[in-house]
Amino acid sequence: MKFDDLDVESEIENTWCPGCGNFGLLNSVKQAVKKLEDEGIGRDIMLISAGIGCHGKIFDYLNIGGLYSIHGRESATIQGMKFANPELKVMAFGGDGDAYGEGLSHLIFAAKRNADITMIVHNNGNYALTTGQKSPTSVQGFKGPSSPEGSVNEPINPLRVLLSSDAGFVARGYPGKMQHLTDLIVEAVKHEGFSLVDVLQPCVTFNDTYEKYNELVEVLEKPAETRKEAVELAEEEERLPIGILYKEEMPVYNEKVYPEGNPVEDRMDREERLEAVKKILDEKR
């Protein structure tokens, strides 16, 4: 497929609520894809996936090849793509309900094995598409259809969870700082290994956090030197630091499993596979 003549944004009608933080995120992704194209990472080697939710609609709004996944499984889907063809750059979009609830174990193990994927989480603190139920990142006291009296749970801190899972690139962005978010996405895609960009995404309909974020968000000058310091940054509540909290180069999963070669190109045909299996069985006899 030739992408050169196609806009990054598709012509599909956008149905997000007016004012939704997803618009800023979409714009940042569009700008990031253009920057990556200028740097030689074109859409011919890029694939995306998305979970199910308001966030997932971004899959329709982008002219990038990929596979729409199921709830919480977008990180597993892009791991498969990358593992099959290491030439690819893969990126997935998840929601906080989706990636930090249903899909959390996939995300933790992707970070643990340092799969070379980029995960962008539209963290709006609720299950928005299903009308605002509390999610793993909803603040204590959050009121929604499943917590009419206010949630009694403490939210999880996804950055701390992923930092504790040995993630090599952990960042937080805010659509209200669109250029900054664009640069974070570019850096995350270029990072060789697992990268997470947690996006503080206001949901104007069920969790309007613009005022809070505009007050508390602060751009970090540089990443923390150590993982421990990064966790401390992630835990700050008086301000919300955005930027790359932590970055570390580590061996990448697919290169550890097969240092050379490309499973898609080196694929055996059926006869060769049967022959290889037969040989292994004969040797075991």
Ligand X SMILES: Cc1ncc(C[n+]2csc(CCOP(=O)(O)OP(=O)(O)O)c2C)c(N)n1
- Window contacting ligand X (CB under 6 A); options: 4-12, 27-35, 124-132, 154-162: 124-132
Q: Does 73 bind ligand X (CB under 6 A)?
A: no
Give the H/E segment covering residue 74.
helix 74-84
Residue 135: which region, alpha, beta or left (left: phi > 0; alpha: psi -120 to 50)?
Answer: beta
Closest to ligand SF4 by CB, 54 or 197: 54
Size of site (CB under 6 A) for ligand X: 18
DSSP letter string, 9-60? B-SSPP-SPTT-THHHHHHHHHHHHHHHHHTT--GGGEEEEE-SSTGGGHHH
Closest separation between CB of residue 57 and ligand X, Å? 8
Q: How many CB atoms lie within 10 A of CB 159?
A: 23
Which of ligand SF4, ligand X, none does residue 137 bind (CB under 5 to 8 Å by kind)?
none
- Window contacting ligand X (CB under 6 A); options: 52-60, 215-223, 231-239, 272-280: 52-60
Residues ≥6 apart with Cβ < 8 Å to 105: none
Which of ligand SF4, ligand X, none does residue 135 bind (CB under 5 to 8 Å by kind)?
ligand X
Closest to ligand X by CB, 14 or 85: 14
The residues that touch ligand SF4, with contacts defined as CB under 6 A, are 16-17, 20, 22, 54, 124, 128, 203-206
Note whether 46 and 63 are within 8 A (CB).
Answer: no
How long a stretch of residues is the chain? 285
Note whether 202 and 223 are within 8 A (CB).
Answer: no
- Euclidean distance between CA atoms 277 and 43, whole angstroms: 37
- Euclidean distance between CA atoms 67 and 48, whole angstroms: 7
Closest to ligand SF4 by CB, 43 or 122: 122
Compose the 132-171 pattern: x for residues touching ligand X by CB under 6 A, - for all others.
---x------------------------------------
Closest to ligand SF4 by CB, 169 or 206: 206
Could you say which DSSP state residue 137 is in? Answer: T
* Region 104-123 residues binding ligand X, contact defined as CB under 6 A: 122
- Euclidean distance between CA atoms 236 and 173, whole angstroms: 15
Compose the 76-105 pattern: x for residues touching ligand X by CB under 6 A, - for all others.
-------------------xxxx-------
Which of ligand SF4, ligand X, none does residue 103 bind (CB under 5 to 8 Å by kind)?
none
* Residues contributing to the site for ligand X (CB under 6 A): 51-55, 71, 95-98, 122, 124, 126-130, 135
